[in-house]
Structure 1
């Protein structure tokens, strides 16, 4: 089993409080987050964009692996994850994640590409943990 850690520190109330997020690797170190970075587009991060980054990264890696089963290798895979947070059942929930994929994969058919992309969407580890959200995909093969 591989384990990775991340930490969050918070002080204060919801709207006036402040937090910092750090990751084991040091890629994020005391990155600020708070109500204003989540709801008011102030500088800093928020849980939704971190989930989006994790999902886009995991999906892209999974797609790369799956393309290998088609004897294909991507020149480029670019994935954008849009994470939807909404008021649901008296509280907030992440209900939707949309993946926008653009990839350059020489020698693969459109059909095989779409099949590989959908397989990655269903089977990457982050998709599996986010199964409660509706995950959709638009995939475009270029070049």
Structure 2
């Protein structure tokens, strides 16, 4: 089975003075603006790294749910945050790291089996596989 998803962006102007708009084929994002200040400063709005973080957190959570289910550990709730690190280097900027923090509610789950599932999800989710960055994980069971 092959699945294709598409997104698009249009940028107008110079790096620091220009403006961009990004969209997804699904319409979830539709001409959503982004600019230099949103990406490299603290201006409100979205940026590519934030979108990657949301995609990674979503993908990891779904992968963890699947792997836990296969291990007989049915999760009630998985809450994941991904923190993407963008650093300036000799070639410009690179995403060098992603830190995943996940909190999972799964009554009766075995701690060791949970951590094994979380590590499998960290390496196995498709977004993890496409990133050329160090991926770290802080996973814990709640209640």
Length-normalised TM-score, structure 2: 0.96
Is this contact kept in 1: 2:85–2:95, CA < 8 A? yes
Number of the residue aligned with 1:142: 142
- Mapping of residues 76-115 of structure 1, within 5 Å: 76-115=77-116
For residues 75-128 of structure 1, the C-alpha deviation after alignment (integer angstroms, 9 at most, x for no partner) is 110000000000123311000000001010122111111110000001000000
For residues 8-52 of structure 1, the C-alpha deviation after alignment (integer angstroms, 9 at most, x for no partner) is 011000000000110011111111101011122222210100110
Aligned length: 142
Number of the residue aligned with 1:133: 133
Length-normalised TM-score, structure 1: 0.96
CA–CA separation in structure 1 for the residues paired with 2:124 and 2:134: 14
4+ aligned runs moved over 2 Å, structure 1 = none
Structure 1: stretches of 5+ with no match in the other structure = none
Is this contact kept in 1: 2:104–2:141, CA < 8 A? yes
Is this contact kept in 1: 2:78–2:104, CA < 8 A? yes
Is this contact kept in 1: 2:73–2:114, CA < 8 A? no
- Mapping of residues 60-79 of structure 1, within 5 Å: 60-79=61-80
Number of the residue aligned with 2:8: 7
Structure 2: stretches of 5+ with no match in the other structure = none
CA–CA separation in structure 1 for the residues paired with 2:108 and 2:126: 27
Partner secondary structure for residue 60 of structure 1: helix
